[in-house]
């Protein structure tokens, strides 16, 4: 565990430095953003330092027990063997926890997200399923006391959505929702199906971390902004005011629309937020293409074109194909009780990165 000891020493030194900088009132007054980042780093390092201290004390106890065993007589041998085994098991448990804590975090985990749900294959049933998924994520956000802000939607006559886009802001929003990107499949009997036949439809989910202005530079001359009249609910206002925004990024061809607000300025600000997030995703995707081409050929693309989950209403079953997780409480999950699913995906992600660390 020599490598672990070195990582712990580095983490402890960094923790002391961060703690010193946070205690300096000049840091907070001179650069609030840097102070906020330091506080987040302090929160990340604190459990590592606490567990490292537990490990140090356990190793001291283990050395003391072994010394007593070497010096003592046969009378104490059995008790000391038992104690050495107990402390050794605790050391292994703490070190496993430390390895998990030392895995580099995704720097985007603390960000808010733009969540996009679109109906896929299956016509009206796909649009209805998209509405079910959107409601599931909104209810999940409510459970975690996150803020939800509708950005744009394209409703169907039956109460479904061809597309719905909304922002979710709150502590750890991206860290929890990032596993939801992909193709979701539903198997159920539509209410309009007279013969009771099971239909299969799909919807796609995209979870985009919000981008800071400094990360994505958007030149005014690269963007064409059109205004038009909103559609949907809104009474006479819908027909009289051109408050909806269509924003086209010329270099990439990305088009963003927003018509949720009655204010054109507010819609423009929301559309720009979505455009930044999509541009950041594209840039990171291009970088990932270059870095992971060989690995992707072995394990699959991992892109949104691949199905990640099945929702079977007849069996009240949810199956996540990525981790072979099956739960028979689909209706409570669709009501926003997603933590068990996301916890399992996060745990599998940790184990995967630990294995990669060992291989490297």
Q: How far from 326 is each of 7, 275, 329, 332, 340, CA to CA, in Å?
A: 37, 36, 9, 14, 11
Q: Distance between CA atoms of 160 and 38, rounded to whole angstroms?
A: 44
Residue 196 C-beta-side C-alpha neighbours within 13 Å = 1
| pLDDT tens figures, 133-160 | 999 999 999 999 999 999 888 888 888 9
Q: Assign residue 159 a region: left if phi > 0, alpha if psi is -120 to 50, beta otherwise?
A: left
Q: Which CATH number fits domain 113-210+308-359: 3.30.70.1660, 3.30.1950.10, 3.40.50.720, 3.40.50.150?
A: 3.30.70.1660
Q: Which one, of 175, 191, 84, lies nearest residue 128 by Cα?
A: 191
Q: Distance between CA atoms of 114 and 116, rounded to whole angstroms?
A: 7
Which residue reads 């060992």 in tokens? 358
The pLDDT value recorded for residue 75 is 63
Which tokens belong to 194? 């007279």
Give CATH superfamily name and number for 2-101.
Release factor (1.20.58.410)
**φ/ψ (deg, to 5) at 323:** -125, 15
Q: Which CATH number fits domain 220-290: 3.30.70.580, 3.30.160.20, 3.30.43.10, 3.40.190.10?
A: 3.30.160.20
Cβ pair 167, 134 in contact under 8 A: no
pLDDT profile of the chain (360 residues), mean per 10: 80 92 90 86 90 93 89 72 92 88 82 92 91 97 95 87 93 93 92 75 92 74 84 47 84 86 83 86 67 37 63 95 95 96 92 67
Q: Distance between CA atoms of 119 and 204, rounded to whole angstroms?
A: 6
Q: Where are the domains of the chain?
A: 2-101, 113-210+308-359, 220-290
> What are all long-range contacts of 285-289, with beta carbons under 8 Å and residues at least 24 apart?
none
The pLDDT value recorded for residue 244 is 87
Pairing mode of beta strands 254-258, 244-249? antiparallel
Helix (H) or strand (E) holding 271: helix 264-291
Which residue reads 């689909």 in tokens? 330
Q: Distance between CA atoms of 163 and 131, rounded to whole angstroms?
A: 9
């Amino acid at each position: 565990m020599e490598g672990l000891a070195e990582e712990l020493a580095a983490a402890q030194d960094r923790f002391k430095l961060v703690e010193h900088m946070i205690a300096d009132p000049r840091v907070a007054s001179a650069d609030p953003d840097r102070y906020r980042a330091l506080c987040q780093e302090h929160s990340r390092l604190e459990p590592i330092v606490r567990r490292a201290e537990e490990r140090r004390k356990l190793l001291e106890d283990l050395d003391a027990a072994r010394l007593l065993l070497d010096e003592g007589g046969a009378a104490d041998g059995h008790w000391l063997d038992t104690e050495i085994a107990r402390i050794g098991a605790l050391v292994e448990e703490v070190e496993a926890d430390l390895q998990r804590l030392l895995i580099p975090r995704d720097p985007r985990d603390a960000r808010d997200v733009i969540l996009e749900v679109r109906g896929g294959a299956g016509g009206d049933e796909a649009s209805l399923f998209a509405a079910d998924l959107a409601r599931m994520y909104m209810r999940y956000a409510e459970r975690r006391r996150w803020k939800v802000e509708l950005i744009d939607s394209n409703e169907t006559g039956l109460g479904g959505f061809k597309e719905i886009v909304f922002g979710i802001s709150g502590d750890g929003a991206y860290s929890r929702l990032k596993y939801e990107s992909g193709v979701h499949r539903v198997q159920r009997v539509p209410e309009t199906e007279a013969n009771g036949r099971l239909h299969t439809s799909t919807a796609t989910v995209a979870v985009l971390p919000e981008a800071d202005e400094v990360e994505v530079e958007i030149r005014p001359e690269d963007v064409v902004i059109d205004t038009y009249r909103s559609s949907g609910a809104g009474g006479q206002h819908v027909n009289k005011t051109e408050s909806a925004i269509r924003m086209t990024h010329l270099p990439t061809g990305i088009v963003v629309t927003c018509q949720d607000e009655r204010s054109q300025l507010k819609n423009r600000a929301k559309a720009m937020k979505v455009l930044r997030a999509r541009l950041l995703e594209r840039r990171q995707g291009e970088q990932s293409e270059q870095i992971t081409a060989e690995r992707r050929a072995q394990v699959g693309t991992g892109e949104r074109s691949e199905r990640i989950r099945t929702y079977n209403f007849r069996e009240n079953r949810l199956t996540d194909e990525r981790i072979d997780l099956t739960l028979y409480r689909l209706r409570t999950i669709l009501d926003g009780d997603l933590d068990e699913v996301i916890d399992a995906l996060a745990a599998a992600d940790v184990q995967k990165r630990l294995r990669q660390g060992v291989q490297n």
